[in-house]
Structure 1
């Protein structure tokens, strides 16, 4: 008799792992206690993973593959759900993981071009201005930021929607050459089928967005975590109430934004008039 699996695998990446673990355990006709004994973990650990309340280790996934007779299925799923983050500061690692596995990302950028859309020189200028950062740390963080961008070149990249305040186009980060390259890169990214770039004009009354930048991560249409930028380091939040509020904020800002074709024309004009 087939037992019902009552967790929604599309709710989040962690829920997907939980769903597959329980599905394979039931197919193997094992109780949670029996599986726990075979892999050397506690019954409560297995139960918490199956209810998406606990992040397992990579070894946990590998041992489950052995018990279920799978050819690395759970280990590959683990790597997909919890990929190793690029070299980024400790305070950003949780978000770097979420960024890699999200199927859609929504950015609101009132002050700077979002990190995933930055050029190397623009990123270097931004990161070099952080107090107490050594040249070696700057270069390490630039490499990490560039590695993060690899998700945009995957066979199936995430859908990216970016709202950028008009002031960002005029803020002289690094001088004309750096800004021209950055603006041209934005235009190039906007030509990709899964990337949308929209400019929010000075005259917009998007007051709800003035409190700071944020990013919403989605998995198969379900927003499940956000990155809120604040001093000194920002924070990653999974609270559903906060996520709902920021989705409403994003939608309100986007209502005042130019459509993409007009946004690209604005960027082109700024490049001609200011950064050539």
Structure 2
């Protein structure tokens, strides 16, 4: 069972896939239960992610559902093997919300990460000083020791991008660059860091200019994730006052994939974005 009886993001992804393939095969849960010699309740809990599927169960079900694609089978078997895998971030779990843990797990598994951020520099680009300033400015009191842990988690999230473990694209509204929400010194250093990270082969940073008009207000911040060799969106997270929501329904994934394409088409090209960021950095330096 996933830790604490709560579905992990990996067990939920696996369960969702098994349910979709069962529906495609026009089988019901009692029939699936017969295939793995288990109860219908177990199949239900497998598909909801509350129980971790064993690899042999995954293989038997995929055989019965007619799923023969080796890449699909390998991916789902890997999810079964690692659904209870203890990630580095769980060392800090006492200070993190469960929904934030889900977000980090998605980042850790992803091959493609795309983010839209109209207000703040995304966490995967934040300097420690920027992260500390933003967290401290939040609506609730954060004890110094907790703040330190949260900043460390932010740095840990950036390791995968730094090592080239995923392709990362960030689109920022121009206001994020031109209107500091922190001190000028912290903001200048943050801009320099964005330029530096943006030079990596696996990273693309684009700026949505003010000239794009109301498009920037069409949707709040979100992140999308792909887990295969192709950048097909398989999960989306939304940030809000109460935490982070994970979307996995096909219609939601399509809507946010289309939205990201609109934002990317309206954004400045990476080179032009870098020039804008560099110009803003220089102007702040001169002041």
Would you say same fold, with TM above 0.5? yes
Q: Which residue of 2 aligns with 1:218?
A: 226
Q: Which residue of 1 aligns with 2:14?
A: 14
CA distance in 1: counterparts of 2:116 and 2:219, whole angstroms: 11
Q: From the superposition, tell whether residues 76 and 241 of structure 1 become closer, same or farther in structure 2 (CA, over 3 Å).
A: closer
Q: CA deviation at 1:149?
A: 1.1
Which residue of 174, 194, 197 maps to 1:189? 197
Q: Which residue of 1 aligns with 2:281?
A: 271
TM-score w.r.t. the length of structure 2 is 0.71
2:260 is equivalent to residue 257 of structure 1: no
CA distance in 1: counterparts of 2:235 and 2:79, whole angstroms: 23
CA distance in 1: counterparts of 2:50 and 2:216, whole angstroms: 34
Q: CA deviation at 1:166?
A: 0.7
User: 1:103-156 CA distances to partner (integer Å, 9 max, x unpaired)?
Assistant: 1011111001111111111000011111222222211211111111121133x5
CA distance in 1: counterparts of 2:246 and 2:112, whole angstroms: 16
2:104 is equivalent to residue 96 of structure 1: yes
Q: Give runs of aligned pairs for residues 1-276 of structure 1, distance below 5 A.
A: 14=14, 42-44=38-40, 47=43, 53-54=48-49, 56-57=51-52, 78-79=81-82, 84=87, 86=89, 87=92, 88-132=96-140, 133-154=142-163, 156-207=164-215, 209-220=217-228, 221-275=231-285
Q: CA deviation at 1:100?
A: 0.8
CA distance in 1: counterparts of 2:265 and 2:85, whole angstroms: 34
Say which is worse superposed, 74-83 or 259-268, in terms of deviation.
74-83
CA distance in 2: counterparts of 1:44 and 1:203, whole angstroms: 56
Q: From the superposition, tell whether residues 241 and 275 of structure 1 become closer, same or farther in structure 2 (CA, over 3 Å).
A: farther
Contact 1:17 1:81 in 2 (8 A): no
CA distance in 2: counterparts of 1:34 and 1:207, whole angstroms: 50
CA distance in 1: counterparts of 2:156 and 2:99, whole angstroms: 17
Contact 2:233 2:253 in 1 (8 A): yes
User: 1:164-195 CA distances to partner (integer Å, 9 max, x unpaired)?
Assistant: 11110123233122112111111111111111
Contact 1:164 1:198 in 2 (8 A): yes
CA distance in 2: counterparts of 1:45 and 1:144, whole angstroms: 37
CA distance in 1: counterparts of 2:79 and 2:248, whole angstroms: 24
- Any stretches of 5+ residues in structure 1 without a counterpart? 1-11, 19-30, 37-41, 65-73
CA distance in 1: counterparts of 2:235 and 2:168, whole angstroms: 15
CA distance in 2: counterparts of 1:16 and 1:246, whole angstroms: 19
Contact 1:127 1:138 in 2 (8 A): yes
Q: Please give the root-mean-square deviation of Cα atoms over the aligned residues, in Å.
A: 3.4
TM-score w.r.t. the length of structure 1 is 0.73
